[in-house]
Amino acid sequence: MTELKTPAKPALTIWAVSDGRAGIEAQAVGLAEAVARRRKATVVVKRIGWTSRIGRLPWWLIPLPRHWLTPTSEFGPPWPGLMIAAGRATLPLAVRMRRWTGRKTFVVQIQDPRAPAGLFDLVVPPNHDRLKGDNVVSIIGAPHRVTTKKLKTEYARFAAVIDPLPHPRAAVLIGGRSKAFDLSPERAAAIALDIQQALEQTGGSLLMTFSRRTPDQARALLTARLKHLPGIIWDGEGDNPYFAFLAGADHVLVTEDSANMATEAAGTGKPVYILKMDGQSLKFRLFHEELEQLGATRPFAGVLETWTYKPLTETDRAAKEILARMDARNPDKS
pLDDT in tens, 91-141: 999 999 999 999 999 999 999 998 899 999 999 999 999 999 999 999 999
Q: 228 vs 205, 222, 225, 241, CA distance in Å?
A: 10, 11, 7, 20
User: DSSP readout, 152-217?
Assistant: HHHHHHHHHHHTTSPSSEEEEEE----SSEE--HHHHHHHHHHHHHHHHHHT-EEEEEE-TTS-HH
| Model confidence band, residue 149 (pLDDT cutoffs 50, 70, 90) | very high
% of the chain with per-residue pLDDT over 90:
86
Q: 40 vs 36, 37, 258, CA distance in Å?
A: 6, 7, 31
Residue 7 scores a pLDDT above 80: no
* Contact status, residue 311 vs residue 268, Cβ threshold 8 Å: yes
* Contact status, residue 102 vs residue 117, Cβ threshold 8 Å: no
No. of helices (H) and no. of strands (E), the chain = 9, 13
Q: How far apart are CA 138 and CA 121, in angstroms?
A: 14
| Whether the bond into 71 is cis, omega within 30 of 0 | no
What is the distance in angstroms between the CA of the first residue and the CA of the last residue of the chain? Answer: 29
* Contact status, residue 204 vs residue 197, Cβ threshold 8 Å: no
Is CATH 3.40.50 the classification given to domain 12-140+315-333? yes
Parts of the chain belonging to CATH 3.40.50.2000: 148-299
pLDDT value of position 58? 86
| Whether the bond into 78 is cis, omega within 30 of 0 | yes
Q: How far apart are CA 181 and CA 226, in angstroms?
A: 23
pLDDT value of position 6? 47
Task: Enter the CATH code of domain 148-299.
Answer: 3.40.50.2000
Q: How far apart are CA 236 and CA 230, in angstroms?
A: 19
SS3 content of the chain, % helix, strand, coil (to 5): 40, 20, 40
Nearest CA to 302 out of 199, 198, 200, 205 is that of: 198
pLDDT (tens digit, 9 = 90+) per residue, 226-272?
Answer: 999 999 999 888 899 999 999 999 999 999 999 999 999 999 999 99
